[in-house]
Amino acid sequence: MQIQSIAEDHDIQYQPNDIERALETKFADLPAGLFLIKTEEGKYFYGKEYSYALFAAFFYKLFGNSGILLFNALMFYVMILVGYLHIRKENDDLKALFTSIIFFFASTAFIYIFWIHVEIYNMFLIMVSLFLWHKYISENNNKYLILSSFVIGIAAVAKIPNLMLFAPLILYELYKHRFKNFSLMILSISIVVFIFYGYFYLETGAPSFYGGNRLYYSSNYPFLSGYDDVNEAGHLGFSVTEGQIAVLLNTNNLKIIPYNLYYYFFGRFTGVTWYYPFAIFALISSLIVFRRIDTVNSDPKRSLILIGIVLYILFFVILVGNNYLGGTHAVGNRYFYVYPAFLFLLGSIKSKILIPFLFLAILTVAPIIADPIENSRRPDLHTFNIPYTYFPIEYSQLVNLPLWAHAQQGEIYEIYALGSDRNYIDYLVRTKLKVDSFDLLLWSYYDDNQIKITANNYADQTILDKYDVKMLTVDSITPEYSDKRGFIYKISIESTKDADTKFIDKRSLTSSTKLLYASGWHSIENWAETITRWMENNATLIAYSGENRSAELDLQVLSYRQGPRTLEIYLNGHLWMLQSNLPSTNFVEIKAPPIYMNKGFNIITFFVPEGCVSPHEATAGNSPDLRCLSLAFQDIRLIRDILIICEEFPAATLAGGWHGLEDSGGTPARWMENDAVFIIEVEETRPAELSFTVLSYNRPRTLEVYDSSDRLIGDATVSPSFARVEMPIHLEEGANSFRLHVPEGCESPREVTGGESPDDRCLSLRIKEIKIS
């Protein structure tokens, strides 16, 4: 939006026409997060540096959104050209061109051409400034020094840490007592910085792009859907003037520095060795050069650039150690802007050194750049494949890794699944406090499924039958990693057939019924203050019941745009109910009839025969959403039935004559017609007592209770107010049916009220708290 604002409005102020224009000319999922600085007058300005937007605005004006990508591509190819011009100083033209091409193409820098982001821009500024500085050193021409310094100034505006790379170059002028040249560099850099920051301060009153009242919006942008400077939806973001520098810097946790340094080069998600292999090639080549000559005195260029590279890396590893990679949507290390500087470490190219790195790039980089769009959408997918599965996980950066598609917020843990193979998954569990055990739920859709669980100091295995659910405690476990932010544990689960796992806190399981979202569900969404979840074509709930009892399922459901769809609901593999023609225009309520539920864990499965579809596919690529969606659910409730079975917990089910479940003062209750039946199943013959709470509709009635032989075992007069009824009964081994009969019959509220009530049900008695003891 900032590019559009500069191109169309010639300012950096966020206004209503900016968001309207951005939605009309939408690029992928943008806007998908926005920083704005809000002034005391209620005006909004973009809370990001604007030099990239300023230069890209020309291309946007000419070619629209495609012009921004063209701008990125031009900078990328100029870097290749500049690299070629530099490398050919010590190599023949063909080798120089080939090396420069593979240097940039065989890296994840290529991915960022397709992003409306500043990665290529920062690399370009570093590349051009170092090339001009090289010209200055080689030709001793201050014209190139001034040009280089102006570009360095723009690079400092684009990203302040870029100055770490150039600090040795500036200080070298002092070392050589070239005070005039030192002053020229400082003055040139300062002029550029003053122009950009000065204009920003005059417009916003904030001294920095990252200062002032800086707010972050993931949605609900100002001037959209009723939001404005009064109805404010923004959350306070990082701001240097609001005392939040500690959020960014990592000066209080020195322990993670050696981890960060190791992961910076060898990590699975960020390792320079895998994502920018020719940076390592350049380092090795420079070491060979350093062995031959007195580099500092006769040829200082490589030494100074190498020192700048080291300072740049240490800045991110040490001071920005909490997030040195650029956030949860980075492909490789998004902040590795210093990459072009490595090219200037190259001298005479040795093919025997270059070729191994070319093969390494084919293994690690080629699969990523072969599909830049898909790997941009899902920057974690390649890490589930060889060779990345053999690389170490960046434990110190776990919360910043692009694992959001395989992450879940547990009841007391953060859980990250490393992989999508349901036969073998490594789980990383992050806790704030140290623990020594975890509770897992394991379930299978196949018979004789052997499950193996391993962790530090723990190994166990179990066998699951079809629709079997087991809770297992992984104990005596020790963390793989810890720092001041918490502890990280690794648990590996291997199965012979497809199986699923969920981490739970067994202390939360009580006698009441509890629903646990298991597999096939997407993340929670907030629709008009109502919690909503999309499912794929298969989704599973684990229902925990503290006792054997009947229950019914109540939910609201909506089909994804290509409705109508059918929903099949299964309990422990048996069809519970089927609902067809679910619309895509509005939510409809579904009430699954009462069903018997075992004590313990039960599997509720939702299945949509018509399958699911991604918004990306349904909109012919206009949506970046790749989730497979079928139905959206709200208000899923598993309501326990009126039967409360005590002591031996016999199985109980309701038969005919009952109306739907209702709430009666916090207790489930049901109206019956003039006859209603329930069935009790016991393992042995014994005497018992039947009791329940009951009231009569509209007038007193008589209740008669009959056993399986249709023998009257008791009766009572029931008034229009609740009263407790008790009577002795005899239970035979097996199923025992009991029929409740009202001789006076039932009445509908519609008839009783002369049509004032719309209720056509025939009601006699309302019953709750049935108890067998």
- pLDDT, tens digit (0-9, with 9 covering 90-100), for 434-466: 998 998 889 888 889 999 999 988 999 999 988
Q: In this predicted model, which residue has the larger pLDDT, 689 or 225? A: 689
Are 621 and 678 in a shared domain?
Answer: no
545: confidence class by pLDDT, cuts 50, 70, 90: confident
pLDDT of residue 246: 56
| Same domain (yes/no): 742, 669 | yes
Q: In this structure, are 503 and 519 located in the same domain?
A: no
Same domain? 671 vs 651:
yes
- Residue-wise pLDDT for 65-104, tens only, equals 899 999 999 999 999 999 999 999 999 999 999 999 999 9
Q: Residue 546 half-sphere exposure, CB side, CA atoms within 13 Å?
A: 16
The two structure tokens encoding residue 568: 């099949």
**Distance between CA atoms of residues 577 and 569, nearest Å:** 5
Using alpha carbons, select from 562, 566, 564, 588 the residue that is nearest to residue 577.
Answer: 566
Whether residue 214 lies inside any domain: the answer is: yes
Residue 409 and residue 500 share a domain:
yes
Helices (H), 587-729: 615-618
Rounded Cα gap, residues 455 and 425, in angstroms:
12
Predicted local confidence at residue 647, as pLDDT: 47
**What are the backbone dihedrals phi and psi of residue 584, each rounded to the nearest 5 degrees, phi first?**
-105, 5
Residue of 549 and 600 predicted with greater confidence: 600
Angstrom CA distances, 541 to 123, 441, 603, stand at 48, 12, 6
- For residue 380, tell me if it sits in a domain: no
> Quick check: is 218 in a domain?
yes
- The enclosing domain of 556 has a CATH number of 2.60.120.260
Query: If we measure between CA atoms, which residue out of 568, 585, 398, 560 comes closest to residue 490?
Result: 398
The two structure tokens encoding residue 136: 């200055």
Q: Which one of 190-199, 201-210, 233-242 scores highest in mean pLDDT?
A: 190-199
Q: Is residue 22 part of a domain?
A: yes
Count of residues in the chain: 773
- What DSSP element (H or E) covers 525? strand 525-527
Structure tokens at 547: 């006792």
**Domain closes at, from 182, 217, 244:** 244
Do 520 and 497 reside in the same domain of the chain? no
Task: Supply the pLDDT for residue 368.
Answer: 95
Structure confidence by residue, pLDDT tens digits, 491-505:
999 999 988 888 887
**SS3 readout for 261-294:** HHHHHHCCCCCHHHHCHHHHHHHHHHHHHHHHCC
* Confidence (pLDDT) at 408: 75
The whole-number average pLDDT for the span 750-769 is 90
Range of 426's domain?
Answer: 403-507
- Residues 678 and 761 reside in one and the same domain: yes
pLDDT band at residue 242 under the 50/70/90 scheme: low
Confidence grade of residue 252 (pLDDT, cut at 50, 70, 90): low
What pTM value is reported for the model?
A: 0.78
Question: Is residue 475 domain-shared with residue 518, that is, in the same domain?
Answer: no
Place 238 in a pLDDT band, splitting at 50, 70 and 90: confident
Return all residues near 304 (Cβ < 8 A) that are at least 6 apart.
168, 169, 172
Q: Predicted confidence band at 377 (pLDDT cuts at 50, 70, 90)?
A: confident
Confidence label for 235 from pLDDT (cuts 50, 70 and 90): confident
- Choosing from 460, 487, 507, the residue where a domain stops is 507
Residues 752, 684 share a domain? yes
Q: What CATH number did the domain enclosing 708 receive? A: 2.60.120
Looking at 605, 640, 675, the residue that finishes a domain is: 640
Domain count, the chain: 4
Determine, yes or no, domain membership for 68: no
Please state the φ and ψ torsions of residue 573, each to the nearest 5 degrees.
90, -5
Within a domain: 170: no
Which CB contacts under 8 angstroms, 24+ apart, belong to 449-452? 449/495, 449/496, 449/497, 449/498, 449/499, 450/495, 450/496, 451/493, 451/494, 451/495, 451/499, 452/493, 452/494, 452/495
- SS3 state at 19: helix
Q: 739 forms bridges with which residues in the sheet?
A: 677, 706
Q: What confidence score (pLDDT) does residue 185 get? A: 96
403 or 171, which is more confident? 171
Q: Are residues 560 and 460 in the same domain?
A: no
What is the torsion angle, in degrees rounded to the nearest 10, for the CA atoms of residue 86, residue 87, residue 89 and residue 91?
-170
Give yes or no: residues 535 and 620 share one domain. Answer: yes
Can you give the CATH number for the domain in which 422 is found?
A: 2.60.290
Q: Are residues 707 and 616 in the same domain?
A: no
**CA pair distance 454, 477, nearest whole angstrom:** 10
Q: What are phi and psi of 629, to 5 degrees?
A: -115, 140
DSSP per residue over 135-168, as a string? HHHHHT-HHHHHHHHHHHHHHHHH-GGGHHHHHH
pLDDT at 429: 93
Lowest mean pLDDT among 234-243, 306-315, 599-608: 234-243
Q: Which two tokens stand for residue 603?
A: 């599997």
In a domain, 98, yes or no: no
425 Ramachandran zone, left/alpha/beta (phi>0; psi -120 to 50): beta
Asked whether residue 560 is assigned to any structural domain, the reply reads: yes
